[in-house]
Structure 1
Amino acid sequence: MSSARPTASVSAPLPTPSRVRSTLDAVLYSSTWLALAALGLTWATFLFWQVQIPWRLGTMIFTATLFLYNLDSVLPYKHSQPVALSGRKSWMRTHRRSLFLLAMVALAVAGSLFLWDGWQHLIGFIGHLAVISLLYSLPIVKVHGRWWALRDFPLLKVFLIAYVWAAVTVWIPALYLHRPLLEPVVLVLFARRFLFILALAFVFDIRDYSKDRLIGTRTFPGVFGVRATKLVALAALVGAALLVPIGMPVHHQTVYLLPLLLAAGVIWFADESRSDYYFALLADGVMVVQFLVVWVASMFLV
C-alpha cells in the first residue's frame, strides 16, 4: 500500500518593485503608451460614428506613432544637447539601439499596411502629415549658427502637435468612412480634438521649460510664463467643452466632460520639477481616458 506524499504548491514569484518599474519605464519611454493613446483617440472617433475601428487601420496608426516618436528619441543632436539628464532621457540613451530597431520594425509594419489598404490615393494628405512630423525634430535651417527644426520656431511646436494629432485621429477616420472633411460634424470633432491636444501639449512645454530656455527654443512658458501658459491651456479646454457636435445626447455631453476635467487637473498641477511619470503616465494617460469614456458611453449609454 503506497502512501501519498504531500506536494508543496509552487506559486509564481511576485514581481519585484524594480521589475515593475523597469516594465513601466519600457512601456512609457518607448512611446508604447503614447501609441496606445493615438490608437485610442482614433478608435474614439470611429465609435462616435458607431463604427468599430478596422484592425489594420488601428495597427497602422499605432505603429506609425511608434516609428515617429522613437525616431525622434534617437536623433543624434538630441543626445548632444547641454542639458541635465532626467530619468526618461537616461533610459532613452541607454536603450537607444533598441528604440531605433523598434522604430524600423514599426515603420515596416505601418508602410506595409499603408500599401495593403490602398491609401496611396491619399498620399498627398497623409504625406503632408508625415513631413510635418519628421521635420518637427529634424534640423532644416541654420539660424545664428544653430540648426533649427520646426519645433524650434517660436511658439510653433504646440500647434504642430495639436494639428497632426487632430488630423490623424479625426480626419483619417472621416476619410476612411468617406465623410467630407468640411462636413460640419467633422469640423467640430476636429476643432474639439485640436483644442484638447493643444491643452495637453502645453503641459510638456512646462516640463521642458528650463531645457528649452537653455537651448534657445522660445515656447509659451519661456515667453509668457508658466502661469499664463496654464491659463491658455485651460481656455483651450473650455473651448473644447463648448464644441458639441449637433445631435449628441445630453448625457453623452456630460460624460465626455470627464477627460477635460482630468486634463485641467493635470495642467494646473504641472511643474517641471515633477516626476517623469507625471508627464508620461498622467498627461498622456488623459488621452487613454478619453477613449475609455467614449467606449463606455457607446456601450452602456444609449
Structure 2
Amino acid sequence: MRNFGDSTPASATTSFAGLKRCVDALLYSSAWLAAAAVGLTWATFLFWRVDVPFRLAMLIFTATLFLYNIDSVLPYKYSQQLVLSERKLWMINHRRELFLLALGSLAVAGLLFWLDGWEHLLGFLGHLAAISLLYSLPVARVKGKWRALRDFPLLKVFLIAYVWAAVTVWIPAFYLSKPLLSPVVLVLFGRRFLFILALAFVFDIRDYTKDRLTGTRTFPGVFGVKATKIFALTVLVVSSFLIPQGVLHHSLLVLTVPTLLAGAIIWFADETRPDYYFALLADGVMLVQFLAVYLVS
C-alpha cells in the first residue's frame, strides 16, 4: 500500500525547487527589471490619461532585456570573480542562454524601432544606448588602464538614473508631442530621476565589497554605507515633493506608498542580504509605483 505521507515532503521539495528555478530565471534574466521599465513608462502615460501603446511597451521591454543581458555576459565580468553571489553563479551557468536572449531581444527591438518609425529620434535614443553600452565597456584610458563609464568615481548611479528617467519620461513625452522643457515634463523627469537615483544607491551598497576590490569608487566606498543611506533617503524625500501640476491631493496618499517602501528598502539594505532582496524588492518597488499610479488614474 502506497504511503502518501512519505511522498508529500519530496513532492513539496520538488515543487519548491521548480518555483525557485522560475523565479531565478525571471529575476536574473532581467525580465523582471524590463517589466519595471515598462511599468514606469506606463505610469508616465497614465499621467496624461493614456495607456502605453503595446508595441512601444514591447520596444522598451526588449531593449531593456538586450542592454542588461549583453552587459551580464561581457567577458570582463567572468575574469573578476571576486564575489560569487547566487545571482552571479546563475548568470555564469546560463551565460549562453542570456547571450541568445540578448540577441533575440535586439532583433525584436530593432524591428519595432524600424516598423514604428522612430528613426527621427535616432540621435536621442542613440545617446541613451551609447551610455548604456559604454557603462561597462572601455571608454577611456586612465593611468594606463582602460576604464568604463561605471569606473569613474561616483558616476554610475547618476548614469543609471538619467537613462531610466529619459526612457520612462521623455519617450512618452515624445510620443505624445509634449515639449521636453515644459514645466510638467521637467517635474516628471526630476521626480523619476531622483526616485531611481535613490534606488541605485541600494545596488552600490550590494556591490560594496566587489567595487572596493575592483577599485571602483562609489558612494558607499568613499563616504560609507550609513552616509550613503542617509543621502539616498534625502534624495527620495526630495523626489516626493516634486508633484506635477494636476495631481489630486487624495492621490498623493496612494503615491506615497512606493516612496515609503523604497525608503524601507534603502534603510535595511546591506551587502549580506540575499540576492532576492535586491532583484525582487528593490527592482519590484518600481512596479509598485506603477500600480499606485494605475490605481489613482
Query: Scaled by the length of structure 2, what TM-score is found?
Result: 0.95
CA deviation map 1:222-245 (0-9, x unaligned): 000000000110011111110011
> What's the CA shift for 1:140?
1.7
Q: Quote how far apart the aligned CAs of 1:207 are.
A: 0.1
CA distance in 1, matches of 2:289, 2:274: 23
Deviations 1:171-227 (A, max 9, x none): 000000000000100000000000000000000000000000000000000000000
Equivalence for 2:234 = 235
Could you tell me which residue of structure 2 aligns to residue 213 of structure 1? 212
Spell out the pairing of 1:254-265 with structure 2 (5 A cutoff): 254-265=253-264
Distance 2:224 2:112 in 1: 43
Alignment of 1:20-35 (within 5 A): 20-35=19-34
Distance in 2 between the 1:27 and 1:271 partners? 23
The CA RMSD measured in Å over matched residues stands at 1.3
* C-alpha distance in structure 2 between counterparts of 1:131 and 1:231, whole Å: 31
Instruction: Compute the displacement of 1:248 (Å).
Output: 1.1
Count residues in correspondence: 287
Matched, 1:48 2:80: no
Distance 1:249 1:218 in 2: 42
* Structure 2 portions without partners, runs of 5+: 1-10
Q: Deviations over 1:274-298 (max 9, x none)?
A: 0000000000000010111111111
Moved more, 33-42 or 13-22: 13-22
Cα distance between partner residues in 1 of 2:249 and 2:55 = 33
Shift of 1:15: 6.3
Aligned partner of 1:244 in structure 2 is 243
The answer for the alignment partner of 2:62 in structure 1 is 63
Q: Deviations over 1:95-116 (max 9, x none)?
A: 0000000000000000111111
CA distance, structure 2, for counterparts of residue 293 and residue 99 of structure 1 = 32
- Residue 115 of structure 1 is matched in structure 2 by 114
Supply the AA of the counterpart residue of 1:120: E
Flag the 1:91–1:253 CA change in 2: closer, same or farther, 3 A.
Answer: same
TM-score by length of 1: 0.93
CA distance in 1 between counterparts of 2:97 and 2:246 reads 47
Which letter maps to 1:236?
V
Gaps spanning 5+ residues in structure 1: where? 1-11
Q: Name the residue aligned to 1:195.
A: 194
Residue 141 (structure 1) aligns with: 140
* Partners of 1:46 and 1:84 in 2: CA distance: 40
The 1-side partners of 2:220 and 2:92 are apart by 26
Tell me the secondary structure at the aligned position of residue 16 of structure 1: helix
Q: Distance in 1 between matches of 2:150 and 2:203?
A: 13
What residue number does 2:8 align with?
Answer: none
Once the two structures are TM-superposed, the CA of residue 14 in structure 1 deviates from its matched residue by: 9.7
Alpha-carbon distance between aligned partners in 2 of 1:82 and 1:44, rounded to the nearest angstrom: 38
Could you tell me which residue of structure 2 aligns to residue 125 of structure 1?
Answer: 124
CA distance in 1, matches of 2:161, 2:183: 19
What is the CA distance between 1:124 and its match in structure 2? 0.7
The equivalent of 1:226 in structure 2 is 225
SS at match of 1:147: strand
User: Match of 2:222, SS?
Assistant: helix
